[in-house]
């Protein structure tokens, strides 16, 4: 089964979806494409997310982990208590229960492949207490959007 | 955990390995890098394979499936009974028990991300009977190397 790239980070017969099905969380300018759905032998889903310039994903944590490959452009990411510059072909493992957020550059999109288990818990959003703790680190305080 | 791309399709602290641990199967000019190892929450391994120009992976099949993303260059692949031209950003699902083989272009490497379950069966190589059947299709006969 070949899912052809049709140019500009879209694929044949793969719809470009809203980032989240529920619009209750805080994010900006993110799209989602499901490239490969889970099968019994590999109960994982491969998705491609693209954050437009100036946009950001939700600041969240969860039990499930992510395997991420930066696929397009560059930006920054909060991973494991630090803000990192990330660029094409960097690979990221996001451990359980760690706050994470992706932000595209001001002039660059940030597109990434993201693998998750099909059976996974729902993300948790930060409480005001969580945000207070996160903001004790000034580089994180400057970075996060919530 | 950030695994930085250090240029030319190698990553920080990721060794470039031989394609197969056992050198009994038929392949040519292929390297392997394990980018992310399995964890309990996602018992999968993310690898990057690179086939040098003129090289090819093993013609094989197995119960386990592959999620593949072409990441570098171009070539051809036997997938699900057909030979396809594949290029950067194409996505491939290789179903259970289907013969598959990747060949780089004569002048282009073929690099791809490949996701597998940690717990998986060993590949099966074609018997001479299998090869006879595969070669009934002339485009497959011209393509396969074994």
User: Can you read off the two tokens belonging to residue A1?
Assistant: 């089964």
With cut-offs at 50, 70 and 90, classify the pLDDT of residue A26.
confident
Distance CA B126, CA B140 (A): 13
Residue A142 in 3-state DSSP?
A: helix
Say what the pLDDT of residue B24 is.
62
Question: Is residue A132 within a helix (H) or strand (E), and if so which, with residue range?
Answer: helix A128-134
CATH topology of domain A5-143: Jelly Rolls (2.60.120)
| CB spacing of A3 vs B84 below 8 angstroms | no
Task: Over range A91-116, report the average pLDDT.
Answer: 98
Residue whose tokens read 């099905």: A21
The total number of residues shown for chain B amounts to: 146
How far apart, in whole angstroms, are the C-alpha atoms of residue A77 and residue A144?
9
B12 and chain A: CB distance < 8 Å anywhere? no
Q: Is the pLDDT of residue A125 over 70?
A: yes
Please tell me the distance from the alpha carbon of residue A112 to that of residue A93, in angstroms, as a whole number: 12
Backbone phi and psi for residue A4, each to the nearest 5 degrees, phi listed first: -75, 135
Kindly report, residue by residue over A34-77, the tens digit of the pLDDT: 999 999 999 999 999 999 999 999 999 999 999 999 999 999 99
Q: Is it the case that residue A23 has pLDDT exceeding 70?
A: no
Place of tokens 């019994």: A40
The ranges assigned to domains in chain A are 5-143
CA angle (A92, A93, A97) in 5-degree steps: 130
DSSP 3-state assignment of A41?
coil
Confirm or reject contact between A40 and chain B (CB < 8 A). no
| Predicted local confidence at residue A27, as pLDDT | 82
Q: What is the pLDDT of residue A21?
A: 62
Which chain B residues have a beta carbon less than 8 Å from that of A89?
5, 9, 11, 71
Beta strands in A37-121 (DSSP E): 44-56, 66-79, 82-87, 91-94, 101-104, 110-117
Contacts of residue B35 in chain A, CB cutoff 8 Å? Answer: 69, 91
Residues counted in chain A:
146
Three-state SS annotation for chain B = CEECEEECCEECCCCCEECCCCCCCCCEEEEEEEEECCECCECEEEEEEEEEEEEECCCEECCCCEEEEEEEEEEEEEECCEEEEEECCCEEEECCCCCEEEEECCCCCEEEEEEEECCCCCCECCCHHHHHHHCCCHHHHHHCCC
B21-65 pLDDT, tens digit per residue, is 665 678 889 999 999 999 999 999 999 999 999 999 999 999 999
Residues A59, A99 contacting (CB under 8 angstroms): yes
* Partners of residue A64 in chain B, C-beta under 8 Å: 41-42
Q: Please provide the average confidence, as pLDDT, over all residues in chain A.
A: 95
Q: What is the pLDDT of residues B98-117, one digit of tens each?
A: 999 999 999 999 999 999 99
Pairing of strands B17-18, B82-87: unpaired
pLDDT at B112: 98
Neighbours of A110 (CB within 10 A): 28
Give the A window 49-108 contacts with B, CB below 8 Å: 63-65, 67, 69, 71, 77, 79-80, 84, 86-96
Mean pLDDT of A100-112: 97
For the beta carbon of residue A113, count every other beta carbon within 10 angstroms.
Answer: 24
Q: Which of B2, B91, B96 sits opposite A36 (nearest CB)?
A: B91
- Under the banding of pLDDT at 50, 70 and 90, the label for residue A132 is very high
């Amino acid at each position: 089964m070949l899912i052809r790239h049709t140019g500009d980070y879209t694929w044949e017969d793969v719809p470009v979806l809203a980032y989240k099905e529920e619009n209750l969380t805080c994010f900006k300018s993110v799209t989602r494409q499901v490239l490969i759905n889970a099968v019994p032998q590999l109960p994982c889903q491969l998705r491609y997310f693209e954050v437009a310039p100036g946009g950001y994903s939700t600041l969240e944590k969860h039990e499930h982990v992510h395997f991420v490959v930066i696929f397009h452009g560059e930006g920054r990411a909060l991973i494991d208590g630090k803000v990192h510059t990330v660029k094409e072909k960097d690979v990221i493992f996001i451990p359980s229960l760690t706050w994470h957020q992706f932000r595209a550059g001001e002039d660059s999109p940030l597109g990434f492949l993201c693998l998750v288990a099909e059976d996974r818990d729902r993300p948790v959003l930060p409480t005001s207490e969580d945000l207070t703790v996160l903001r004790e680190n000034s580089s994180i305080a400057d970075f996060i959007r919530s």
